[in-house]
Amino acid sequence: MTVMTTMERFKKVGPTMVYRECLKVLLVLLATLLPLASHAQASETDTEFYALVDQVASGSLSKRIKTVDAIAELNHTRSAAILEALQEGALKNARGKEGLVVIEIANDQYVDAKTGEPIIDKDLGRLKRVPIHNKLRGQIRTLLAQINLSSADEEIRLSAVTRLITDGGDADTAELLQSLKANETSAAVVEAMNTAIALYRIESDDATVRLYAVKQLRGSLIPEVRGPLKALVTNDPDKAVRIEAERAIDSIEGKLKMFRFGENVFFGLSLGSVFLLSAIGLAITFGVMGVINMAHGELMMIGAYTTWVIQQAFPNQIEYSLFMAIPAAFVVAGLVGIAIERGVIQFLYGRPLETLLATFGISLILQQAARSIFSPLNRAVSLPEWMSGSLQINPALSITFNRLYILLFGLMVFFALMAILKKTSLGLKVRAVSQNRPMARAVGVRASWVDALTFGLGSGIAGIAGVALSQLTNVGPNLGQAYIIDSFMVVVFGGVGNLWGTLVGAMGLGIVNKFLEPYAGAVLAKVLILVMLILFIQKKPKGLFPQKGRAAAD
């Protein structure tokens, strides 16, 4: 048929076209024939492969190590798929059907591990995951890296080479990399390959090869480079290599120092953003209204539990759960806050000691309520995919996504609150009442109503902070206690009644803390911060940014 049409066309179009057409036909023929040929031929490898898949799904862990090696060596088309599934815990034994091994590709969707065909039959019986341990995991990762070296995806290739660097290569890998390098298009992958090869050559017996390898490694930030270089500085018989290695180490360490400083600043800002989030609600209730609210931490706890409840209610929407949780937590914590204000605090204005005791009591009640409702055990809040992992800037510097988002989120909340206080009528009334209550009432502001709303606003923001905290720490009845002292510390340090002070105070304390920690240790750093704060308050009792004018009269 095809030949016929070609002949017809030959008459119409001239020889070059025909040549092309012929080639196409040939290619199509080849494409259809090839799998057939390999299929006919592969039946033997297939049976071997099927046997190995059965083997990997049964037997002991130590036996599995050998089987996994055999699967990789067989280099069947589905070898990589099996290894990946094993690595991710998706390879499962169907107990209901003898000898059926499946891969879970999505929730409740399975394919046959041997053929890769989807399984429509739902009656698989109880599925049991094929267990693996660390040794196996490491082995699979190395095997996959070797397979993935020729992957089409640049990122997969890069991570495969990086993996080989971590594992430490032998002569074979170095040769393999050398041959692959010629066809490599991505600069990043070539660089990684060079490092891997140089790392192998650094152990060469030839001093000139070593010297060249050391020169290549100069300035490389990959952590695996430093150990061997340091060893060269002290042990190498050749003086030139020793000097060059020392230079390389110096250049690396100079860069590292800079990145380490950057990393520390980020750590500090990130800790500061947690301080900011937990203190900002308090800056309203304590700073603006003057209520010492010891239950502030428990309002954060309520926000965190709200996140959990939302995730339980929509188990398939984990990726979006935080966006639902933020308004929900604001409303729930805000309502609880208003209830506390109307129920208890409104009778205690102007009596700070009683307020302190009453709100402390409320905090205990809320904690025990959480224990009774949600059990004393912590609840597992899952991290959406986009919150986990880190942004790799270079091998020496990476920023974790959850911290980055929380830092941005903290600033967003801060400026939103600022806008509410400065631009809305509620904000105006809040400021009026906090500055001069009788005067505000005289011009027609409903002071008690404003009090309730302000307290609700502060509490709602505490709830939002709880959503952020649920991504960092445990969601349990004790969540609030861990943050209440830090919150008060920040507000007092920044200056009561000044939101900007809260921002500067939070970030400042965060950074100081993170720069102290490497020298003093986490425990002593905390103590030092408190001591410094006490001394600071002695000197400036009204904090960093004291209120000026008549508002500060009291």
Nearer to another protein, 443 or 523 (CB): 523
DSSP 384-405: PGGGSSEEEEETTEEEEHHHHH
Nearer to another protein, 433 or 479 (CB): 479
Residue ranges in 321-436 assigned as alpha helix (H): 321-343, 352-374, 401-423, 425-435
Cβ proximity of 268 and 513 under 8 Å: yes
473's CB contacts (< 8 A; 6+ apart) are 479, 482
Nearer to another protein, 273 or 498 (CB): 273
CA dist 526 → 76, 481, 505, 548 (Å): 57, 16, 15, 31
- In angstroms, what is the minimal distance from the CB of 388 to another protein? 6
Three-class DSSP labels, 79-105: HHHHHHHHHHCCEEEECCCCCCEEEEE
- In angstroms, what is the minimal distance from the CB of 155 to another protein? 14
Residues that bind another protein (CB under 8 A): 61, 89, 129, 131, 133-135, 137-138, 141, 166, 223-224, 226-228, 263-264, 267, 270-271, 274, 368, 371, 376-383, 388-390, 392, 398, 400-403, 472-478, 481-482, 514, 517-518, 521-523, 526
74's CB contacts (< 8 A; 6+ apart) are 45, 48, 49, 52
Q: What count of other Cβ atoms lies within 10 Å of the Cβ of residue 186?
A: 13
DSSP 346: G
Nearer to another protein, 148 or 402 (CB): 402
Nearer to another protein, 18 or 105 (CB): 105
- In angstroms, what is the minimal distance from the CB of 334 to another protein? 25
Cβ proximity of 280 and 451 under 8 Å: no
C-alpha 234/C-alpha 63 separation (Å) is 42
Nearer to another protein, 337 or 384 (CB): 384
Nearer to another protein, 378 or 435 (CB): 378
Cβ proximity of 79 and 147 under 8 Å: yes
DSSP 183: T
For 127, the enclosing helix (H) or strand (E) is: strand 127-129
- In angstroms, what is the minimal distance from the CB of 19 to another protein? 53
DSSP 378: P
C-alpha 238/C-alpha 26 separation (Å) is 60
- In angstroms, what is the minimal distance from the CB of 86 to another protein? 13
- In angstroms, what is the minimal distance from the CB of 1 to another protein? 54
Nearer to another protein, 27 or 531 (CB): 531
Please report, for the chain, how many H helices and E strands are present, in that order.
20, 6
- In angstroms, what is the minimal distance from the CB of 449 to another protein? 37
- In angstroms, what is the minimal distance from the CB of 382 to another protein? 5
Nearer to another protein, 76 or 379 (CB): 379
- In angstroms, what is the minimal distance from the CB of 168 to another protein? 8
